[in-house]
């Protein structure tokens, strides 16, 4: 009976460690979407771990931290990302639609999804400084 209890406890510990290893693994893939908007073509929005987002179009590059969840007056969920240049990206998860409100603009710009993709996971080598 005691052996069975120890075996069960050990299996639980192994399961917990395995699950933790999955979630803390540095090899989480990150996603990107390419948008074509009326005023800005080929905008690449990349989303990374720790709520980091980037936006690239042409030779421009902007960074955002975090994503806010809101609802419209009709209780439609919307996610907003505020970039450092003052642009705001709105995403409506239920309809999968994107809109930009550019810094200083009064009306949003509608965007069409051109592509979705996942960045490949890259495992960087580890170098240990040699003692000389």
User: Residue 17: inside a domain, yes or no?
Assistant: no
User: Residue 129: inside a domain, yes or no?
Assistant: no
Number of domains present in the structure of the chain: 1
Whether the pTM exceeds 0.85: the reply is no
C-alpha–C-alpha distance, residues 118 and 132, integer Å: 42
User: Residue 12: inside a domain, yes or no?
Assistant: no
Note down pLDDT in tens along the chain; length 132 residues.
445 556 666 666 665 655 444 444 444 558 899 999 999 999 999 998 888 899 999 999 999 998 999 999 999 999 999 999 999 999 999 999 999 999 999 999 999 999 998 888 777 777 777 776
User: Residue 87: inside a domain, yes or no?
Assistant: yes
C-alpha–C-alpha distance, residues 57 and 52, integer Å: 17
């Amino acid at each position: 009976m005691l052996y069975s209890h120890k075996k069960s406890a050990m299996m639980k510990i192994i399961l917990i460690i395995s699950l933790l290893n999955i979630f803390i693994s540095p090899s989480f893939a990150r996603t990107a979407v390419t948008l074509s908007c009326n005023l800005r073509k080929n905008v690449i929005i990349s989303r990374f771990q720790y709520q980091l987002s980037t936006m690239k179009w042409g030779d421009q590059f902007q960074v955002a931290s975090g994503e806010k969840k809101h609802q419209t007056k009709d209780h439609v969920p919307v996610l907003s990302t505020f970039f450092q240049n003052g642009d705001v990206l709105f995403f409506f998860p239920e309809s999968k639609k994107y809109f930009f409100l550019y810094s200083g603009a009064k009306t949003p710009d509608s965007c069409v999804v051109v592509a979705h993709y996942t960045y490949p996971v890259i495992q960087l080598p580890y170098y240990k400084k040699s003692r000389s």
